[in-house]
Amino acid sequence: MANTVQQGNRVDLVWGRMRALAREIASRQQDVLMHADLTMSQMKAFFAIAKDGDPSIGLVAKELNIGLPSASQVVERLVKAGLVERRPHPHDRRVTQCVLSERGQNLRRELDAGPRALREWLERMDARDLAELERGLSALAEMAAQSRKEREEQHGH
């Protein structure tokens, strides 16, 4: 019984520390997003463009699960905000690609500041603490993979 209580307390402590780290990283990103002055649909489109690397308007529409006219409108608002440029596809002039502008690339780099800070903290850790963290995270990643496998088996995937 005492071992179960200790385990529960340790889980609570780890959970709290993970949430605190996530909040710290998110707060760095939130500060950037608040100054970016984007609507939610613009933010989603921006992330889709940044993730997919020069997608067409059609791919943006598909990624956001919206129609082509709506995707075109939201991309146009990002163009007007100076975050995205429209360019003809190099091999198919019928296709227009969405490309992050220099300002858009800067915004993407600023948004990466939170995760980059985590890497910097890891680099500053004592070697023994880092090894223990790696061992614990490996075990957690294995649990997550097993959980995903079980979910897929339950849903027939």
State the Cα–Cα distance between residues 103 and 100, nearest whole angstrom.
8
Model pLDDT, residue 31: 83
CATH number given to 2-124:
1.10.10.10
**pLDDT tens readout for residues 120-144:** 999 999 999 999 999 999 999 999 9
Inter-CA distances, 21 with 53, 58, 96, Å: 29, 37, 40
Distance CA 17, CA 146 (A): 23
- Is there a contact between 55 and 98 (Cβ–Cβ < 8 Å)? yes
Instruction: Convert the pLDDT of each residue in 61-89 to its tens digit.
Output: 999 999 999 999 999 999 999 999 999 88
8 A C-beta contact, residue 89 and residue 127: no
Query: Residue 33 corresponds to which tokens in the numbers above?
Result: 């997003």
Backbone φ, ψ for residue 87 (5° rounding): -135, 145
Alpha helices in 37-126 (DSSP H): 40-52, 57-64, 68-80, 102-111, 113-124
* Residue 97 contacts residue 54 (beta carbons within 8 Å): yes
H or E element at residue 35 = helix 2-36
- Which pLDDT belongs to residue 128? 97
Residue 80's Cα: distance from chain center in Å? 24
**Token pair 């023994």 in the structure block, residue:** 128
pLDDT surpasses 80 at 5:
no
**pLDDT value, residue 4:** 77
Under the banding of pLDDT at 50, 70 and 90, the label for residue 149 is very high
